[in-house]
Structure 1
Amino acid sequence: MIENKLIKNLIVINLIFLSLILFTKVTFLYRLLLVLLKSIISPVVVSVFFYYLIRPLNVIFIKKGLKNSEAAVLTLFIWTFALTGIFYYFSNSISYELNGLIKEIKTIGEKDNNINKALDEINKYIDINQIYRVSTESLNNYMKDAVSNLLKGFKYLMDSFSKFLLILITIFYLLKDGEKFKEGFINFFSNKNKEKVSKILEGSHVVLSQYVVGQSKVALSLSTLIFLGYKIIGMPNGLLFSSITFILAFIPFVGFFISMIVPTIIAISLGFTMFIKLAATFIIVQTLKGRVVVPAIMGHTMKIHPLTDIFLVIGAIAFGGPLAAFIIVPIYGIIKIIIDVLLPDKIKKKLSM
């Protein structure tokens, strides 16, 4: 009986994959899916991230006796005000450092140092002059279409505003009616399956909450540590580089390494001593991250082996870019919960043996 159910489930899974493959062959539907992914799914992912980030404050307001709608509005107002203040406070310093970084990158090419040697080595395999010519031609074509580009810029601005508005509205209704959405979704299923669906939703809620809050704390801790390291060794543009680290640290494992690429290039241009200082700072911060920060904040909440994490993130980057790399770990955790709930107990016992 169990074997027959297993075979049926495998057949269903294969049919789903076959349907997805056929779906990608239908150009109109495939383009429609891409539009939905860009216009709706991506903002919803961002909304869910911020929802779990600000939800603890919303829960406090509800416990204090505020209505759900009042708590949601107050929570959104406080977080929007706080994020706007943080952005305004750091934007001037980051802009100043960004201008300094651009000047530094321009001067790197004029120096007779290791960067030029590296570029000469790269030039043996890649025709940099050809790339420059193509880039110049592309720039000229871009300037010729200035009016068209202006319209595209306006369209991009309107698109960004609509997505921002969609994100705010989605967060508001998630804070206000999160429990109602859950109950309404469960009611779509028969009484026989309601308990299983409820377990899946509860488990998924815990995974997403732990991942978003935990990863945010890790990113903040990591960027703070690397900023202090930059200040100690005298690395220029420390605030800008640590801000980039904060953003990329939301991508598990590889994000921190990617954020160190530009600082490494700058350190090489400043001399061998600065490069050694930066390498030592990176090793110390990476060690603290692996031995102290991540275990203390994340612990073993996701119950995923680090090697599995690495393969998931690298594969996600290859197929879907940074957004996919950010969401792949919680998706994997949710899939594990679904399998654990739906898999018969007898099969679980056999697998655990």
Structure 2
Amino acid sequence: MMQKRWFQTLIVLILVFLLILLVKAADFIFDPIFQYVGAVAFPIIGAGLLFYITRPLMHLLEKLRLHRILAITGVFVLLIVALFIVARYIFPILQNQFSTLINNIPGWISAVEDLIDYWQDNQNSIPPEVNETINNITSNLQSYIESTMSFIFGFIGEFISIIFALVLIPFFLFFMLKDGEKFVPFITQFLEKKKADNISTLLYKIDEALTSYIQGQLLVALCIGVLLYAGYSIIGLKYALTLAIFGMIICVIPFIGPYLAVTPAIIVGFFQDPLMPVWVAIVMIVAQQIEGNLVSPNVMGKALHLHPLTVITVVLAAGSIGGLLGMLFAIPLYAVVKTIISHFYQTYQKAQKDGEDALI
């Protein structure tokens, strides 16, 4: 029985669950470690995102025969210039539009309440239960909308402020750009050649998967933001820049992102003009068609080899567990896990085949 594969798998699963149980029982030992990891995880993640975004630029500057330190300096200069442009020209417009949007919410809520009251007064056949439900929703409508809007925009504001406020991110980014190629040799130097080659191949596959997803998804989101801003401006939608940037950020979430991105624009458009939501929907559809048929196939292609149903399932599951952050990081994490499992499975199959050939 010990030679049966199913029995060996069962033993491994039992040992894994026992290890998890022991870690949970000894949480007083691991809590300080988890707190330390949590303290540095966010700067490392932020620097890692910037690393995958700016690494092609650093290689481009190196091709122009600049020393790596000078190339990294050029990257940092461009990042500072980009931040200055955002802070000087874009952020004041966003702040003004966002403040106006928040100030208009009470008036919109009053209009909705008046519309519901008018509809109730002219409907005599509504069951009491329906009336009670409508009254309950109406009485709490303002709190629902304000809490939702404050969560969405508060998250975005907090996320952006933390990303650019943490002092550790530039330091992590500098050393990632400077010594990124030394990571794999450093990890594999302690292993024998066959295992070192195997781990090196795995790490390069993971790097390729993350590069394809992060660079591709961010470029796709940028294209969506530009298309939405152009479309919103053409149809005359108010707060076009704020809603376009919100759509650009939320569109990073695969499949679900576009539906979440267009919701605030439809609500704002409804109070501006009853026909405006139709135009907003048309703008989103056109932007999605351009992105889906022209941008994504050429930028991302099928590098991750993920089925759409798998992506939807993973995003929904991650959202129920980790909220919006879970949705943002679900697909790259899943891609890494899939790459690891696929690599070791292929390694196992190759070893089995070599063993059979050797026996023959």
Give the shorter-chain TM-score range.
0.7 to 0.9
Relative contact order (C-alpha < 8 Å, sep 6+): which is higher? 1
Kept after mapping to 1: 8 A contact 2:225/2:248: yes
Relative to structure 2, which stretch is displaced further, 71-80 or 198-207? 71-80
CA deviation profile, 1:15-64 (whole Å, cap 9, x unmatched)? 33443355345554575466345422122111111100000111122333
Partner residue in 2 for 1:224? 226
The whole-number CA distance in structure 2 between the counterparts of 1:166 and 1:74 is: 19
2: CA distance, partners of 1:114 / 1:207: 53
Question: What's the counterpart of residue 202 of structure 1?
Answer: 204
1:16-31 equivalences under 5 Å are: 16-20=16-20, 22-24=22-24, 28=28, 31=31
- The question of 1:279 aligning with 2:275 is answered no
- Match of 1:153? none
| Structure 2 Cα separation of the partners of residues 23 and 115 of structure 1 | 57
- The alignment status of 1:100 with 2:125, answered yes or no, reads no
Deviations 1:203-248 (A, max 9, x none): 1111111111101110011111111221122110000000111111
1:188 aligns with 2:173: no
Contact 1:39 1:163 in 2 (8 A): no
Q: Distance in 2 between matches of 1:309 and 1:30?
A: 32
- Please name the residue that 1:345 is paired with: 349
How far apart in 1 are the matches of 2:103 and 2:330? Answer: 37
Q: Say if 2:46 and 2:163, in contact at 8 Å, map to a contact too.
A: no
* Equivalent position to 2:318, from 308, 316, 330: 316
The match for 2:258 is 256
User: Taking structure 1 as reference, are residues 25 and 266 closer, same or farther at Cα in structure 2, changes over 3 Å only?
Assistant: farther
CA deviation after TM superposition for structure 1 residue 170, in Å: 0.8
For residues 115 and 254 of structure 1, what CA distance do their matches in structure 2 show?
30
Aligned twin of 1:168? 170
Give the aligned residue type for 2:217. Answer: Q
Change (3 A) 1:332 1:225: same
Partners of 2:182 and 2:250 in 1: CA distance? 34
| Between 81-90 and 192-201, the greater mean CA deviation after superposition | 81-90
Task: Indicate conservation of the 8 Å contact 2:109/2:142, yes or no.
Answer: no
User: What is the CA–CA distance in structure 2 between the aligned matches of 1:268 and 1:130, rounded to whole Å?
Assistant: 16
3-state SS of paired residue (2:253) = coil
- Between the two proteins, what is the percent identity of the paired residues? 27
Q: Which residue of 1 aligns with 2:61?
A: 61
Q: Which moved more, 1:214-223 or 1:319-328?
A: 319-328
Matched residue SS, 1:338: helix
1:252-301 residue CA offsets vs partner (Å, 9 max, x unmatched) = 22222212222222122234211222222223323333333322321111
Q: How does the TM-score come out when normalised to structure 1?
A: 0.79
Q: How does 1:26-41 map to 2 (within 5 A)?
A: 28=28, 31-32=31-32, 35-36=35-36, 38-41=38-41
- Following the alignment from structure 2 to structure 1, what is the Cα–Cα distance between the partners of residues 49 and 280? 32
Distance in 1 between residues matched to 2:28 and 2:133, nearest whole Å: 42
5+ residue gaps, structure 1? 136-155
Larger Rg: 2
The TM-score, its normalising length taken from structure 2, stands at 0.78
CA distance in structure 2 between the aligned counterparts of 1:228 and 1:161, rounded to whole angstroms:
27
Alignment RMSD (CA, Å): 3.5
Of residues 229, 234, 237, the one that matches 1:235 is 237
Give distance in 1, aligned partners of 2:115 and 2:200.
57
Letter in 2 for 1:287: Q
**Conserved? CA contact 1:207–1:334, under 8 Å:** yes
Structure 1: distance between partners of 2:56 and 2:319: 30
Instruction: Write out aligned runs for 1:285-304 (5 A).
Output: 285-304=287-306
Q: Distance in 2 between matches of 1:282 and 1:191?
A: 52
Structure 2 residue ranges without an equivalent (≥5): 120-130, 147-157, 354-360
1:51 aligns with 2:51: yes
Question: In structure 1, what is the equivalent of residue 122 of structure 2?
Answer: none
Would the alpha carbon gap of residues 18 and 123 (structure 1) be closer, same or farther in structure 2, given more than 3 Å must change? farther
Q: Matched residues in 2 for 1:248 and 1:24: separation? A: 35
Contact 1:43–1:167, Cα closer than 8 Å, also in 2: yes
Query: Which range moves more in the overlay, 253-262 or 26-35?
Result: 26-35
Question: How many residues of Structure 1 are paired with residues of Structure 2 in the alignment?
Answer: 325
CA contact (8 A) 1:47 1:167 kept: yes
How far apart, CA to CA, are the structure 2 residues paired with 1:126 and 1:267? 22
> Helix, strand or coil for the counterpart of 2:101?
helix
Q: In structure 2, the residue corresponding to 1:317 is in which secondary structure?
A: helix
Distance of 1:237 and 1:186 partners within structure 2: 52
> Offset at 1:125?
5.3
